[in-house]
């Protein structure tokens, strides 16, 4: 078990700063996922924790010990990379045992740990095979097994599924989830650009952008209560629809008016001085429903229907510049291209963001 504390961690290459003062606490036994677009600094952050990159400033503590200058081999960390990095001339057993042999562990201890890891990862019947006789998913499990036998305080995963095809990614993701269940006291930190991996594996997700932490929270917390526009559109697939809007005073209540569209205004609780502000109005595709009534949030023309079987994605042209509105509907719903469609959503499913992109702290949509 291990707690990690990152305090104002910065990383720069010359004059180019990659990490801009990262503050993060990771509790023992947590499965933490770093997620964000390419180039956001997530892999660099993982490598600084591993000791593969020096920290330019700030401190990293593992179990209360500052490890800034501690070499990777002494940090009690095991890392699983994108590539399997297996020795092609060694069997699965020897690949998994190699680090323990280098550490001069006893033969019986090596055998016990290797066979225990193989059982956890369902690799027992492959122990005598060479890597070339394994599938990509099996090779990645061997790489994970090689980390397990070291009995580390912390596991680090650097996009371990990115080289696998879609079916193998799903299967191996399930194996990693089962591995965490079998090792509940082990701290795991996982880097991915795939939000499905993040949502299905994480206890908490750390969303990164341009070397900054945008938000930290449980998967459903980030999904239901994104702290800003970036998180709102990064978490969830398809991304949240964002529409320009203004805040107006409607009698004794404050209402949101969607710029350029007919339909009802939406009563909301906002800051007292919010009237007249330009804001953004967000609603997730799965929260939009078709309505035939006179009150609606959006009206537009069906531009394209993407049929996915169980569900379909309906792209609606609202007659304005920019991306179309996307609604996620049951696959059996009859929606014809070029037809006019009206959409609405429940008040509690709406999100309001200020001009700075931050969610209004008091943006709780009231019932009409």
- Token pair 């990690």 in the structure block, residue: 4
84 and 219 within one domain:
yes
Rounded mean pLDDT of 280-286? 92
Q: In DSSP terms, which residues pair with 60 in a beta bridge?
A: 6
pLDDT (0 to 100) of residue 246:
82
Assigned token pair, 63:
């179990």
Assigned token pair, 300:
């537009």
Q: How does pLDDT run across 176-230, given as a tens digit for each residue?
A: 898 888 888 889 999 998 888 999 999 999 999 999 999 999 999 999 999 999 9
288 and 204 within one domain:
no
Q: Cis peptide leading into 205, omega within 30 of 0? A: no
Q: How far apart are CA 98 and CA 89, in angstroms?
A: 12
pLDDT (0 to 100) of residue 363:
45
Q: Which run of H or E residues covers position 95? A: helix 92-102
**49: Cα within 13 Å, side-chain hemisphere:** 36
Tally of domains within the chain: 2
Which of 168, 202, 234 marks a domain boundary? 234
Q: How far apart are CA 21 and CA 236, in angstroms?
A: 27
Q: Please, what is the end-to-end C-alpha distance for the chain in angstroms?
A: 50
pLDDT at 34 over 70: yes
Alpha-carbon distances of 132 from 20, 91, 124, 228, 274, rounded to whole Å: 42, 10, 17, 46, 63
| pLDDT band of 361, cuts 50, 70, 90 | low
Q: Is the dihedral of CA 50, 51, 57, 61 positive or negative?
A: positive
**Residue 267 is part of a domain; what is its CATH number?**
2.40.50.140
| Residue range of the domain that includes 353 | 241-365
pLDDT at 268 over 70: no
pLDDT at 250 over 70: no
pLDDT at 175 over 90: no
252 and 229 within one domain:
no
pLDDT at 368 over 50: no
Rounded mean pLDDT of 232-261? 79
- Token pair 């609405």 in the structure block, residue: 344
Q: How far apart are CA 151 and CA 153, in angstroms?
A: 7
Which of 179, 202, 234 marks a domain boundary? 234
252 and 196 within one domain:
no
Which of 234, 266, 288 marks a domain boundary? 234
Q: How far apart are CA 139 and CA 83, in angstroms?
A: 9
pLDDT (0 to 100) of residue 67:
95
Q: How does pLDDT run across 89-122, given as a tens digit for each residue?
A: 999 999 999 988 888 889 999 999 999 989 888 8
Q: State what percent of residues in the chain have pLDDT above 70.
A: 92
186 and 251 within one domain:
no
Entry pTM? 0.89
pLDDT (0 to 100) of residue 110:
92
213 and 69 within one domain:
yes
Question: Could you tell me if 288 and 327 are in contact, meaning their C-beta atoms sit under 8 angstroms apart?
Answer: yes
pLDDT at 349 over 90: no
């Amino acid at each position: 078990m291990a707690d990690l504390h990152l305090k104002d961690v910065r990383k720069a290459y010359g004059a180019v700063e990659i990490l801009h003062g990262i503050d993060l606490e990771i509790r023992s036994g947590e499965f933490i996922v770093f997620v964000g677009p390419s180039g956001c600094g997530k892999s660099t952050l993982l490598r600084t924790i591993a000791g593969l990159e020096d920290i330019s400033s700030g401190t990293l503590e593992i179990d209360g010990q500052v490890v800034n200058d501690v070499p990777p081999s002494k940090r009690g960390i095991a890392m699983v990379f994108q590539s399997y990095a297996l020795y092609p001339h060694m069997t699965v057993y020897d690949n998994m045992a190699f680090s323990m042999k280098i550490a001069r562990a006893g033969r019986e201890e090596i055998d016990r740990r290797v066979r225990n890891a193989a059982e956890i990862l369902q690799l027992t019947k492959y122990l005598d095979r060479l890597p070339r006789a394994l599938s990509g998913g099996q090779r990645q499990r061997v790489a994970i097994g090689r980390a397990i036998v070291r009995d580390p305080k912390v596991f680090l995963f650097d996009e371990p599924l990115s080289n696998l095809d879609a079916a193998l990614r799903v299967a191996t993701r399930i194996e990693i989830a089962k591995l965490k269940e079998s090792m509940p006291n082990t701290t795991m930190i996982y880097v991915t650009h795939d939000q499905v991996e993040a949502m299905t594996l994480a206890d908490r997700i750390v969303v990164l952008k341009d070397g900054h932490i945008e938000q930290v929270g449980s998967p459903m917390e980030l999904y239901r209560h994104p702290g800003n526009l970036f998180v709102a559109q990064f978490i969830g697939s398809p991304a949240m629809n964002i529409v320009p809007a203004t805040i107006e005073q409607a009698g004794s209540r404050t209402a949101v008016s969607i710029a350029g569209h007919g339909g009802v205004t939406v009563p909301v609780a906002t800051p007292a001085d919010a009237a007249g502000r330009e804001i953004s109005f967000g609603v997730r595709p799965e929260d939009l429903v078709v309505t035939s009534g006179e009150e609606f949030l959006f009206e537009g023309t069906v531009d394209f229907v993407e049929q996915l079987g169980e569900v379909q994605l309906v792209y609606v042209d609202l007659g304005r510049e920019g991306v179309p509105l996307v609604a996620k509907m049951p696959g059996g719903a009859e929606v014809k291209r070029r037809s006019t469609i009206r959409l609405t959503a429940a008040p509690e499913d709406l999100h309001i963001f200020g001009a700075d992109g931050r969610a209004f702290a008091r943006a709780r949509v009231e019932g009409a």
